[in-house]
Amino acid sequence: LALGIWQDIYVVEHRDRSHRRELALHLLGE
């Protein structure tokens, strides 16, 4: 059960980080 929770946290963190990177690239490209 704990492993599943950590997996969810990792996935959300990874997705959020990649989204921020795309946003930063978009702002730099303006």
- pLDDT score recorded for residue 19: 76
Output the pLDDT for position 14.
72
* Alpha helices by DSSP H, 1-30: 2-29
pLDDT digits over 1-30, tens only?
788 888 888 888 777 777 778 878 888 887
pTM: 0.34
* pLDDT of the residue at 6: 82
Cα 25 from Cα 20, distance rounded (Å): 9
Q: What is the pLDDT of residue 12?
A: 80
Tell me what pLDDT residue 15 has: 76
